[in-house]
Amino acid sequence: MLLGTLAIALVLGGAALPWLLSSPARISRLIAGVVPELQGDVRISAVRLGWTGPLVLENLAVVPRAGGKPPIRIRKIEVSHGLVQILLSVGDVGRVRIEGLEADVVYDANRKSNFEGLFVPAPANATGSTAPRPRRSPVRLRLEVADAIVRIDGPWTQEPWVSDPINVRAALVPAADGGWSEWVIEPVQLLADARMEPGVAQGVLAYIAPVLADATRTSGRFSLRLDGARLPVGRPAGGTIAGVLAMHEVVLGPGPLVTRLIESLPVRLPPPPAIRIADESHVAFRVADGRVWHEGLEFGVPLAKPGQRLDVHSSGSVGIEDKSLDVKLSLPIPADLPQDRPILAALAGKRVSVGIGGVLGQPQVNFDGSIKATAGDVVADLLDRIRNGAPPTQAPPPAGANGSPPPAPGWKADEPTPGVQASGTAAGGPTAEAIVDLVGGVLDEVAKRRAERRAAEAANPEQVPSRRGRLLRRLVPPEAPPAPPASGP
């Protein structure tokens, strides 16, 4: 009788288990227990599951506990394995297919999205560290997301950007080199020939291409490819993502990065009405250590001469949480720039490197020394020519021509004319004025940098490094030792 009673209880309990788990409220509490960092309630309209049949969740929504519109809505989730298969396989859920996913991402003026409020940092562990630690998941599964739609909205536009349908494949498996589980996302073409609108440019793509941040306008098309990702469960920020952003004929209104770059150069360039990303530009990016790294970004700043532009190469990283910039720009200055500005002409053909700090939308230009080295080389070359005496650049005018005095007696054609500098330039002539203009412009730049350096030294006097005039040592030869006294009477 006892055995019969136990058998009946097991049969009834087994039959009742799917019914008990079919409650949407119980499934919601189960999800909340599995993801304790989630600051939202998962609401489900219907649940269907059985011992052998698939498990189906319908009309799922994640509602923030702080209130507001649900940022995630899913029409249907279907799990291929039933309860028997999941139990016998010790946690293998099988294939999980998500259909009708809609994600609404809304940014504020500080580029903080509504998704950031859905999760809170994990509490401090036994060692006192607040950094979340990866953990092992009790289940394994293969995920298929079909025809997902992403909407991105923010203060940069009146209409949200809407993506084309997105398909993603991933797997939740134990990590090969640790005691935790990780999401492994397969390579996929997320977007192809999508419109470059302000919402997606400012909210997402500016982390890959910082030149897009706060651009006055954007136009063109782009494609986004994901080459793979590995995200530890419980600590996705410790994972890695790699991909390529391809930009097709993208034109921007100059944002603060381009504007401050042009203002900081020691040459006068007109503010451009627009800048153009290099046609079919492929920017490789990766996400690691909480930053988005990029390489291969190139954009052109138009110059005054039609058809001429300054090509700028960009590489570096942007912080995901603090939006901090650590970017380097390389400027190969064209060799055929206009000659009306001596500094501009002297720097033609040179390369300048510029560091960009600050945060997205508020960049700070920091010269890494190359512009001062380049300007110093130009000044050194000109002063060397003046000191050493270069041949004249043109034949001297005839006697009395243009009011000039006749040559001195004994003057030869291959000698500088009296009143002409050693470089072959008449004192006070156009080239002399150009040299003065060049030196003055460089000195202005040096004075500006010196004032900044003195301010930094005043703030931190104990960290002042020793400096010596390298350019002065190069231009001024050391004094010759005094000659020994002559011997003899």
Q: How far is CA 375 from CA 284, 356, 369, 418, in A?
A: 33, 20, 10, 31
C-alpha 9 chain-centroid distance: 62
Q: What would the DSSP string read from start to end of 312-354?
A: EEEEEEEETTT-BEEEEEEEE--TT--SSSHHHHHTTT-EEEE
Q: Which two tokens stand for residue 161?
A: 């950007």
Q: Whole-prediction pTM value? A: 0.69
Q: Are 13 and 21 in contact, with CB atoms under 8 Å apart?
A: no
pLDDT of residue 414: 44
CA distance 210 to 111: 13
Could you give the count of Cα atoms lying within 13 Å of 24 in the half-sphere of its Cβ? Answer: 12
Q: Which two tokens stand for residue 217?
A: 């306008």
Q: What is the DSSP letter of 465?
A: P
Q: Are 178 and 134 in contact, with CB atoms under 8 Å apart?
A: yes
C-alpha 434 chain-centroid distance: 39
pLDDT of residue 151: 94
Strands (E) across 214-308 are located at 218-232, 240-252, 275-277, 281-288, 291-302
Strand (E) or helix (H) holding 406: none
Q: Are 370 and 363 in contact, with CB atoms under 8 Å apart?
A: no
3-class SS at 145?
Answer: strand
Q: Are 44 and 24 in contact, with CB atoms under 8 Å apart?
A: yes
Q: What is the DSSP letter of 355?
A: E
Buried b (16+ CB within 10 A) or exposed e, 37-50: ebebebebeebebb
C-alpha 409 chain-centroid distance: 68
Q: Are 201 and 213 in contact, with CB atoms under 8 Å apart?
A: no
Residue 131, φ and ψ in degrees, nearest 5:
-70, 130
Q: What is the DSSP letter of 441?
A: H
Q: What is the DSSP letter of 420?
A: B
Identify residue 199 by its one-letter amino acid code: G
Strand (E) or helix (H) holding 290: none
CA distance 197 to 221: 8
Tell me which residue has tokens 């997606």.
200
CA distance 435 to 78: 77
Q: CA 161, 293, 300 angle in degrees (round to 5)?
A: 70
What does the pLDDT profile of the chain (489 residues) look like in tens digits?
Answer: 655 445 454 444 444 555 556 677 877 777 776 676 778 888 888 888 777 778 888 999 998 888 788 999 999 999 888 878 888 888 888 899 999 999 999 998 888 888 887 876 555 455 555 567 788 888 889 999 999 999 999 998 888 999 999 999 999 998 887 788 899 999 999 999 999 998 899 989 999 999 999 988 888 999 999 999 999 888 888 889 999 999 998 998 888 998 888 887 766 677 788 888 877 889 999 999 889 999 999 988 877 666 677 788 999 999 998 999 999 988 776 666 555 555 556 666 777 788 899 999 899 988 655 555 666 666 666 556 555 655 433 334 444 444 444 444 444 444 444 433 333 344 444 444 444 454 455 555 555 666 667 777 776 666 655 554 454 455 455 555 555 555 554
CA distance 296 to 264: 23
Q: Which two tokens stand for residue 145?
A: 């997301």
